[in-house]
Amino acid sequence: MVTHPETMIDDFKAAGASGITFHLEATERADGSITANVIQRIKQAGMKCGISLKPKTPVELLFPFLDQIDFVLIMTVEPGFGGQAFMGDMMPKVETLRKRCPNMDIQVDGGLDPVTIDAAAKAGANVIVAGSSLFKPGQNPKETMQLFRDTINKYKVNW
């Protein structure tokens, strides 16, 4: 999470990024003008745009922007460091978004592993951001990624 993500759009574009996800909490003001401006600038740069929500931020704050963005990232841990425990109480946010946006990519990030993937996929997450569960010693990243894919596909028919 960075402050003033709007100042980094051109740098990411120049580096070859095809999309940018920014934290709503880094831009949002009461009237939504800064968030809308950041979305517009990312789109004008020819990139896809996503918004991320920290655990304590209500999902309803995203609603005014859903028709302007390409994907949403729901944080299932507090951002900042790896290896935190999955916060299953974030799954209602995913469910709400899946109902409102059946075709949108909904990402979850934090504490995803072979045990927690089921709850995330059942809620409607179709993109998994994982680090520790893939790269800790003794883990087989290829097998874990396949498990994630298979679990998402199992629940996808019910969204």
pLDDT at position 17 is 96
Superfamily of domain 73-159: Aldolase class I (3.20.20.70)
Q: pTM of this prediction?
A: 0.91
Nearest to 72 by CA among 94, 50, 56, 48: 50
Residue-range domain boundaries for the chain: 1-69, 73-159
Output 31 or 87, whichever has higher pLDDT: 87
Report residue 31's pLDDT band, with 50, 70 and 90 as the boundaries. low
Given a cut of 70, whether residue 30 has pLDDT beyond it is: no
Tens of pLDDT, residues 93-126 = 999 999 999 999 999 999 999 999 999 999 999 9
DSSP E strand boundaries for 84-152: 105-109, 127-129
- On whether the CB atoms of residues 86 and 112 are closer than 8 A, the answer is yes
Q: How far is CA 121 from CA 1, 10, 128, 133, 136, in A?
A: 25, 34, 9, 16, 22
Tens of pLDDT, residues 33-83 = 788 899 999 999 999 999 999 999 999 999 999 999 999 999 999 887 777
